[in-house]
Amino acid sequence: MQIDKLSNEELEIWLSLARALGPTKFFSVIRACGSLDEALKYFDGLTTENKKVYDIQDARKEINNARKIGAKIIPACDPDYPDILRNIPGCPPVITALGDVSLLSHEMIAIIGGRNSSVNGRNFASKLALDLSEAGFIVVSGLARGIDTAANSVIYKNHPTIAVTASGIDVVYPRENSDLYKKITEDGGLVITELPFATKPKPQYFPQRNRIISGLSLGVTVIEASKSSGSLITANFALDQGREVFAVSGFPLDLRSSGSNYLIKNGAKLIESADDIIESIRFGLPPQQKSLFDVEHVNQKNVKQEKLQQAKSVIVSHINSVPIDIDELILTSGLSTNLALMAILELEL
């Protein structure tokens, strides 16, 4: 299947499978099967007693709800899906966007930081966001209190911005940013999420959100983040994704800057103005576009059932009462990633 728009029916199938499996398993199955149609046949073959692995009705309801508020559900094979995000490990199979989707094709820089920020920190974030916007970058942040709000507020200076949320597209969090959310979505900006319609924020959703913030961006800028801040999680994602990490130093006794200072000591680039970021980014090259099916094009028809059964036996032999990370399980099994994930998926089902 080529990178192209899906029909309504295909979008429903794509969304329902993505919601049922999660990013890693979803893409493993798609790549192993070679197409969405083959993946559907594969799951229909696993279906027993009329119990579906996926739910088309729920997907259809989610798509209709998004359309009612003017949002768009964008699968990872759609031309509107940003190439830079498609290249990260475990990219979201779908994102829901409300606002100007064309912003996703621009160069983006993330500005993030602590919720308990100082006035100086917020003022610097606002100036940095404005200067980067005037240089042609789209500023990305998380719509959280503090530094994120200051960064996303560049919209008030008539520059577009992107906010990535840890909730459904129709759920504004924190509530105090309702006006900012409305300003972003109605005045040329964009709000995106990978979570289903009406999803309330939960602690585990914020790290998921953070990998998208860094995944969209050529670089991530951290301002006034403590060592326990989620901003450091975003910085780690950025490093794993091959992005630039920038940080603003702070007074050593101010715990609000302990994380930012830590990043600088460990290799993040110290910045004092937008020029420092622009100079660093302009010397780099944007990531090359990668097809969803460039890796391990294995047709499901060629994966012998006997080989899959053997793989399931290997996986079972490495499982006991002690929890094990899925990546470690795959590594110790000695199986290829796709085959191991297919075996794990069938065992779970």
Residue 240: CATH number of its domain: 3.40.50.450
pLDDT at residue 50, rounded to an integer: 60
Beta bridge mates, 162: 140, 190
236 and 162 within one domain: yes
132 and 75 within one domain: no
Cα–Cα distance measured from residue 151 to residue 84, given in angstroms and rounded to the nearest whole number:
21
**Helix 119-134 to helix 274-282 angle, to the nearest 10 degrees?**
40
338 and 248 within one domain: no
Question: Is residue 340 assigned to a domain?
Answer: yes
Is the Cα dihedral 223, 225, 231, 233 positive or negative?
A: positive
Which of 114, 112, 173 is CA-nearest to residue 139?
Answer: 112
pLDDT at residue 279, rounded to an integer: 92
Maximum Cα interatomic distance, the chain, rounded to a whole number of Å: 64
The region of weakest confidence among 33-42, 98-107, 286-295 is 286-295
Cα–Cα distance measured from residue 139 to residue 217, given in angstroms and rounded to the nearest whole number:
9
What's the pLDDT tens digit per position in 196-237?
999 999 999 999 999 999 999 999 999 999 998 899 999 999
Last residue of a domain, one of 64, 90, 116: 90
Question: Is residue 173 assigned to a domain?
Answer: yes
190 and 62 within one domain: no
Which of 196, 199, 258 is CA-nearest to residue 227?
Answer: 258
Helix (H) or strand (E) holding 84: helix 83-86
112 and 75 within one domain: no
pLDDT band at 74 (very low <50, low <70, confident <90, very high): very high
Contact 224, 121 (CB under 8 A): yes
| Full residue range of the structural domain in which residue 28 is found | 8-90
Question: Is residue 325 assigned to a domain?
Answer: yes
Q: Sheet containing 269-270: give its strands across.
A: 72-75, 94-99, 190-193, 161-164, 138-141, 108-113, 219-223, 244-247, 269-270
Question: Is residue 294 assigned to a domain?
Answer: no
Q: What is the mean pLDDT of residues 173-183?
A: 97
Distances in Å between the Cα of 158 and the Cα atoms of 115, 131, 179 are: 24, 12, 15
pLDDT at residue 243, rounded to an integer: 96
Q: What is the distance between the terminal CA atoms of the chain, rounded to a whole angstrom?
A: 26
Question: Is residue 96 assigned to a domain?
Answer: no
183 and 212 within one domain: yes
Contact 116, 126 (CB under 8 A): no
Contact 157, 139 (CB under 8 A): no
Cα–Cα distance measured from residue 273 to residue 335, given in angstroms and rounded to the nearest whole number:
48
Residue 303 reports pLDDT greater than 50: no
Contact 102, 195 (CB under 8 A): no
Distances in Å between the Cα of 112 and the Cα atoms of 56, 189, 245 are: 37, 17, 11
264 and 140 within one domain: yes
In total, the chain counts a number of residues equal to 349
Residue 248 reports pLDDT greater than 90: yes
Helix, strand, coil tally for the chain in percent (to 5): 50, 10, 40
70 and 27 within one domain: yes
Q: How many domains does the chain have?
A: 3
Question: Is residue 16 assigned to a domain?
Answer: yes
247 and 115 within one domain: yes
163 and 232 within one domain: yes
136 and 33 within one domain: no
pLDDT at residue 302, rounded to an integer: 46
Last residue of a domain, one of 90, 117, 150: 90
Question: Is residue 143 assigned to a domain?
Answer: yes
pLDDT at residue 297, rounded to an integer: 39
User: Is the backbone of residue 206 left (phi > 0), alpha (psi -120 to 50) or beta?
Assistant: alpha
85 and 107 within one domain: no
Last residue of a domain, one of 90, 112, 130: 90
Cα–Cα distance measured from residue 315 to residue 313, given in angstroms and rounded to the nearest whole number:
5
Question: Is residue 36 assigned to a domain?
Answer: yes
Beta bridge mates, 75: 94
Say which residue, 339 or 140, is predicted with more confidence. Answer: 140
- Using the structure block, give the residue that is written with the tokens 């094009």: 297
Which of 164, 158, 63 is CA-nearest to residue 104?
Answer: 164
